[in-house]
Amino acid sequence: MDPLQEVLRQVTGYIYPNEVELHWGLLVVVYPYLTGLVAGAFILASLVRIFDVKEVQPTYRLALLTALAYLIVAPLALLAHLGHPLRSFEIFLTPNFHSAMAMFGFVYAWYLMVVLLLEIWLDYRKDMVLWAQKETGLRRWVHRLLTLGANDISPNALRFDRRASRFITLIGIPSAFLLHGYVGFIFGSVKANPWWSSVLIPVVFLFSAIVSGIALMLLIYFLSTLLRAKPVDMPCMDKLASFLFYALVVDFSLEMLDFIHRLYEAEESIHILSQLVFSRLFLSLIILQAFLGTVVPLVLLGSVSPALRRKGILALPEELRRLLYAGAAILIQIGIFSTRWNVVIGGQLFSKSLRGLTVYKMQLMGLEGLFTSAFLLLLPILLLLLLIYILPPWPESEQHVEAPAGD
């Protein structure tokens, strides 16, 4: 049967005829999820840098590379959902400066070129020079190429690197806020849609981004040490878990504020929105986002991590503790993905006539289908592996100028 006909059967109440087709599908869910991870991972790395949090140092480079991998993939999700992907360059050529979406190109380019690539380059330059001296074959050439000919590793040059990199980090934090806050603005500024239209949306997006970024780094750090058969740095895990807890508390408070505010104001949309929450979004919002994705991790992290008490409210052995951390981080990822789903899909499941609800029929195949999205979620991991191969982020691969580099 015609999929749209099928939707028509499941509509309750009245929706405008043109609303039978849902316009932003799974890909547009994936997009803010990915950029959120970028912003979150980068903000974590920056905090390490600026506030000099020693414990989390082992995740610094890993977080930068992760942010880069996810940043490269994020626009692919947007591109794939366009009706005319080949015309997308028009966003750069003739942008409409009133459009939040048109600004994407500039925010993105700024963040990629000025912030992330430069910071990674500055951080790795010394190592790349030294690696290139030691290595042979392709790796040598790749590293040599990546230094862009800047081979000076005198103490003066290195001091400059450090200072420049610190400066970039300082610009980077507001840029990361901008990147994801702006994604929230794309939705928050649509006055036609009462589910989206809220000043809080960009802020909520931002904090959920930080939460998802820290959770992701915790997972990646944990898995990478296990896979490399290295001892897990427990102070690092504990610190990450505490950060995660604090960020989650802020995120949760903001979400509750938004919720209470809507309930209290009780605008004309309140009836249809509460119907939406308790019927179409029950699983993804109440169960996945609120309960499994927020409350359970809050309780887990709050009781086990040193966030509230130095030894944790429940003092557990290290092995168990880090497993619980990883479990909480996975739940948080599911929760944040549901958050994006609830915003993007949820915002289209009710009619702007405020009189009815529709459904979303996910496709499996095709550019907008489940498989494309799954691929786009997997792709950053593959990219990250490649980046790790070229630029090993591990402490033991770091080079020191003092020790004469063997040739």
Partner 1 sequence: MDDSKHISPPADQPASESRREFLHTFSLAAPLLLLGLRISAIEALAAEPDAAYNAREHYYGMGIDVSKCIGCGRCADACKNENDVPREPYYFRTWVERYVIGADGETDVDSPNGGIGGFASKIPEKEILRTFFVPKLCNQCTDPPCVQVCPVGATFATEDGVVLVDNDYCIGCRYCIQACPYGARFLDPRTHTANKCTFCYHRVVKGLLPACVEVCPTGARVFGDLRQHNSPLARFTRFNKIMTLKPHLNTKPKVFYAQLDEEVR
Among 6, 10, 54, 82, binds partner 1 (CB under 8 A): 82
How far from each other are the two terminal CA atoms of the chain, in whole angstroms?
A: 69
In the Cβ-directed half-sphere of 304, how many Cα atoms lie within 13 Å? 25
Residue among 61 and 81 whose Cβ is closer to partner 1: 81
| Site stretch for partner 1 (CB under 8 A), options 9-17, 222-230, 255-263, 291-299 | 9-17
Among 95, 306, 369, 392, binds partner 1 (CB under 8 A): 95
| Site stretch for partner 1 (CB under 8 A), options 31-39, 100-108, 135-143, 215-223 | 100-108
Rounded Cα distance between 104 and 109, Å, is 8
In 10 A of CB 223, how many CB atoms?
A: 11
Per-residue tokens: 51: 């506030």
Q: Where are the alpha helices (DSSP H) in 153-269?
A: 155-188, 200-227, 234-265
Per-residue tokens: 205: 């997006």
| Site stretch for partner 1 (CB under 8 A), options 12-20, 116-124, 141-149, 247-255 | 12-20
| Site stretch for partner 1 (CB under 8 A), options 31-39, 85-93, 220-228, 332-340 | 85-93
96 binds partner 1 (CB under 8 A): yes
In 10 A of CB 259, how many CB atoms?
A: 13
Residue among 25 and 380 whose Cβ is closer to partner 1: 25
**Cβ(280)–Cβ(274) under 8 Å?**
no
Residue among 20 and 249 whose Cβ is closer to partner 1: 20
19 binds partner 1 (CB under 8 A): yes
365 binds partner 1 (CB under 8 A): no
- DSSP, collapsed to helix, strand or coil, labels residue 358 as coil
10 binds partner 1 (CB under 8 A): no
Question: How many residues contact partner 1, by CB under 8 A?
Answer: 43
**Cβ(188)–Cβ(201) under 8 Å?**
yes
| Site stretch for partner 1 (CB under 8 A), options 13-21, 225-233, 256-264, 317-325 | 13-21
Among 6, 10, 16, 283, binds partner 1 (CB under 8 A): 16
CA-closest candidate to residue 75, choices 112, 31, 121: 31
Question: At its nearest, how many Å lie between partner 1 and the CB of residue 13?
Answer: 8
23 binds partner 1 (CB under 8 A): yes
**Cβ(95)–Cβ(102) under 8 Å?**
yes
Rounded Cα distance between 110 and 144, Å, is 25
366 binds partner 1 (CB under 8 A): no
- Of residues 120 through 149, those in contact with partner 1 by CB under 8 A are none
Beta strands 356-357; 12-13: pairing state: antiparallel
367 binds partner 1 (CB under 8 A): no
Residue among 212 and 269 whose Cβ is closer to partner 1: 269
Question: At its nearest, how many Å lie between partner 1 and the CB of residue 174?
Answer: 23
Per-residue tokens: 280: 């179409």
Rounded Cα distance between 146 and 368, Å, is 36
Question: At its nearest, how many Å lie between partner 1 and the CB of residue 70?
Answer: 21
Among 352, 363, 368, 405, binds partner 1 (CB under 8 A): 352
Torsion sign, CA atoms 171, 258, 187, 251: positive
- Of residues 157 through 196, those in contact with partner 1 by CB under 8 A are 186, 190-193
Torsion sign, CA atoms 147, 153, 156, 160: positive
Q: Binding residues for partner 1, per CB under 8 A?
A: 2, 4, 8, 13-21, 23-24, 81-85, 87-88, 90-91, 94-96, 98-102, 104, 186, 190-193, 348, 351-355
